[in-house]
Structure 1
């Protein structure tokens, strides 16, 4: 059975079983990075750096054209918004007049730690975009007058909204890895990354949010891009049984463990809130461990659908959207879309797991029934 059919059946079974929740939330507000960006990066980056994901074949599966999403179609928040009867979230920087049903502040490349930290400590050799978690929170603050007319109005609105804070952390760790730091040095930054995420969640709760989803890190050591970039630096012993980079995935698991512990503590502080840890790691690993069950050929499980050749079909001189890169005929038969981000079919599988389990603690649908 093809991956697309498997995922569609799973997701439809979820939809058909929970029609009573289809209008539970009045709006959605999302902060994050490129995994859920719906166009902000194109707006903020296009004037200063080359942007490739605003070109075909991005969007080929669902929209039929690029939308600013780094996928062949929809991403996780699209499926979750659809489940609750909400429209696809528009990117905040597109300045749509109607934000009554929510807006997406996520930007590709966003970090949990403010970007000036990386500049100040010479961890990056370039000028980063000013798109960190705190910046996105500032954008939300600026938009509040359009969302509500008073403090109490906002608290009421936020209490009926579903918030996403993340995924955050992948770009922070990528910056530090790229600076040549050791695994232990990268690990030392995890507490600060997690602390910034938790502070953002707490800030939203104090402003009235009740339902907040906090995704962890995916197994970035399985990324075709990372595997290609580090292929000359690693020995066989640095790869796990799936062919992924062990050190990078250990950092991701450590991040997720610390994040879960911090969320648990936050629940004790705000017992009225429903803070959901969304596991971004296990759903990807579950496909990689048993690809044939998801319609993915074993030889393609670590290859990208859209790329420019090489062992993992990722080539820095011909990344997806650039001349020389081509897309596979059936993205649903791949886990990775462009080497970093995932196919619509993969995102759909993750969204189902966050909605009804088993990839969330608690699953979103269980949280709203408390």
Structure 2
């Protein structure tokens, strides 16, 4: 627990003892979330996005929030919701939500977004725009509370990044397992852009990075539906290659950038174990989605997506690994958050997430930006003035 306050010579000195809590120097550690539909909590509700890139309608959210759909691509909560609970934080709201309280962080993630700006361009908030929005939020925080407080709190915040799958998913329009791009070169290109975005966050004060690796795209119900029940090898290869390169990138950045700390979550292996042995982890079905149509309910029609007028919905979402053709159930999201928090699973490397919330990092290399930086409005049709 944290304690206490002592007054000496007119100065308040904070003496802090941390025991499983989420306070650093008397302040709750903020949580910032950037990414795609795996961690989106409703961003696309506030932009002119298509129904395919939204989840603010039944049956999404049927097992949480009093059955009210919030824009989360799940039957309930997504992983950052459970991380916030474990860190004793309130649920982190979308950055674009009007009058939202961002005292404890903000969620910039946008369903359908990619590392690359041209992935689903015009309907989502890509990662570059998300990074710029975070910079805008920090500017507002500095304006209200001063440069020192802004730098202190943003350097101790946790930055959860979960993005990249859509950059590869859009390559498989024919589902024949063949793509025109050179696979390895394309992965290098995506990773290069990811590196630029991470360094942009670092330059803006970020020091604690949680990077969630890609799931096995080839073994989603959607890919199985087009692969006669088998995982689509080309898509699996791209996911695995991306994850290996992303982890190597983080290792490299830690060796080069002062104060840079990372946690890599091998979501590929984490989810594959539950797909292959669902009963071992409390699930019944690891192959068939709860919501959708066609083989494995793998056609992306849940809630009327893809212009469909009909879809199937299972009776027990909690028994499934996948809620729809691509997205996992609340049960998987809960297990992912707890695995991250404890850090005992080999898919979480090299630290448990709890350390990011419980320990201060040195913000090495952190400088002050110039004052008077112009405020930006960087989202499709959105103004945050």
Give the TM-score band, short-chain normalised: 0.7 to 0.9
In structure 2, distance between residues paired with 1:313 and 1:130:
25
- Answer yes or no: is the 8 Å Cα contact 1:28–1:101 preserved in 2: yes
Change (3 A) 1:143 1:30: same
Change (3 A) 1:335 1:50: closer
CA offsets, 1:81-116, max 9 Å, x none?
Answer: 11111111111111334211111000011110121x
1:282 equivalent in structure 2 = 269
- Answer yes or no: is the 8 Å Cα contact 2:253–2:260 preserved in 1: no
1:191 equivalent in structure 2 = 188
- Unaligned segments of structure 1, at least 5 residues: 1-17, 119-125, 233-238
- Answer yes or no: is the 8 Å Cα contact 1:53–1:321 preserved in 2: no
Q: Deviation of residue 227 (structure 1)?
A: 2.2
Change (3 A) 1:313 1:177: closer
User: What is the TM-score normalised by the length of structure 1?
Assistant: 0.81
Equivalent runs, 1:155-194 vs 2, <5 Å: 155-165=151-161, 167-178=162-173, 182=179, 185-194=182-191
In structure 2, distance between residues paired with 1:172 and 1:153:
36
Corresponding position: 1:138 with 2:127: no
In structure 2, distance between residues paired with 1:77 and 1:84:
10
Corresponding position: 1:302 with 2:287: yes
1:3 equivalent in structure 2 = none
CA offsets, 1:1-54, max 9 Å, x none?
Answer: xxxxxxxxxxxxxxxxx96224454311111001111111122135x5566621
In structure 2, distance between residues paired with 1:264 and 1:52:
34
Change (3 A) 1:302 1:45: farther
Residue number among 325, 329, 337 corresponding to 2:315 in the alignment: 329
- Answer yes or no: is the 8 Å Cα contact 2:290–2:322 preserved in 1: yes
> Which range moved further: 80-89 or 172-181?
172-181
- Higher Cα radius of gyration: 2
Q: Deviation of residue 347 (structure 1)?
A: 0.8
Considering fraction of residues, name the structure with more helix: 1
1:270 equivalent in structure 2 = 257
- Answer yes or no: is the 8 Å Cα contact 1:177–1:186 preserved in 2: no
1:7 equivalent in structure 2 = none
1:352 equivalent in structure 2 = 338
CA offsets, 1:106-141, max 9 Å, x none?
Answer: 0011110121xx6xxxxxxx8642521111111112
2:231 equivalent in structure 1 = 244
- Answer yes or no: is the 8 Å Cα contact 1:27–1:101 preserved in 2: yes
Cα-Cα RMSD: 2.4
Residue number among 29, 32, 37 corresponding to 2:35 in the alignment: 32
1:319 equivalent in structure 2 = 302
In structure 2, distance between residues paired with 1:27 and 1:194:
26
> Which range moved further: 144-153 or 354-363?
144-153
Corresponding position: 1:226 with 2:223: yes
CA offsets, 1:128-183, max 9 Å, x none?
Answer: 42521111111112222333334433211112211112x22111111223378538
User: What is the TM-score normalised by the length of structure 2?
Assistant: 0.78
- Unaligned segments of structure 2, at least 5 residues: 1-17, 362-385
Task: Give the secondary structure class of the aligned counterpart of 2:296.
Answer: coil
> Which range moved further: 321-330 or 336-345?
321-330
> Which range moved further: 338-347 or 97-106?
97-106
1:236 equivalent in structure 2 = none
In structure 2, distance between residues paired with 1:356 and 1:133:
28
- Answer yes or no: is the 8 Å Cα contact 2:40–2:108 preserved in 1: yes
Change (3 A) 1:204 1:326: same
In structure 1, distance between residues paired with 2:117 and 2:150:
26
In structure 1, distance between residues paired with 2:115 and 2:55:
23
